[in-house]
Amino acid sequence: MSRTPFVAGNWKMHKTIAEAEEFITGLLPLAGAIDDVQIGVCVPFTAIQAVVDSTRGSSIEVYAQNVHAAEKGAYTGEISIAMLDELEVHGVVVGHSERRQLFNETDADLRAKVPALLAAGLTPIFCVGETDAQREGDETEAVLRTQVTEGLADVADEDLAKVTIAYEPVWAIGTGKVASPQQAQDACAFIRSLVADRSAAAAEAVRIQYGGSVKPDNAQELLALPDVDGALVGGAALEPQNFAAIVQAARA
64 in contact with ligand PGA (CB under 6 A): no
Question: Residue 40 contacts by C-beta under 8 Å, 6 or more apart in sequence?
Answer: 6, 7, 8, 9, 60, 61, 62, 63, 90, 91, 125
* DSSP secondary structure letter of residue 80: B
232 in contact with ligand PGA (CB under 6 A): yes
Q: Which of 5, 169, 234, 240 binds ligand PGA (CB under 6 A)?
A: 234
174 in contact with ligand PGA (CB under 6 A): yes
| CA-closest candidate to residue 162, choices 109, 112, 126, 196 | 126
Our CB check for ligand PGA shows the closer of 214 and 247 to be 214
User: Cα–Cα distance between 160 and 148 in angstroms, integer?
Assistant: 11
- Is 19 a residue of the active site? no
Which parts of 95-173 are beta strand (E)? 123-128, 164-167
Stretch that binds ligand PGA, among 71-79, 99-107, 137-145, 168-176 (CB under 6 A): 168-176
Residue 92 backbone phi and psi in degrees, to 5? -145, 135
Residues in the chain: 252
Smallest separation, CB 201 to ligand PGA (Å):
28
240 in contact with ligand PGA (CB under 6 A): no
User: Cα–Cα distance between 98 and 106 in angstroms, integer?
Assistant: 12
Q: Which of 55, 134, 213, 242 binds ligand PGA (CB under 6 A)?
A: 213
233 in contact with ligand PGA (CB under 6 A): yes
Smallest separation, CB 45 to ligand PGA (Å):
17
- Is 168 a residue of the active site? yes
| CA-closest candidate to residue 30, choices 62, 59, 61, 8 | 59
Our CB check for ligand PGA shows the closer of 203 and 240 to be 240
List active site positions. Answer: 96, 168
Residues of the shown chain interacting with ligand PGA in the complex, contacts defined by CB under 6 A: 10, 168, 173-174, 211-214, 232-236
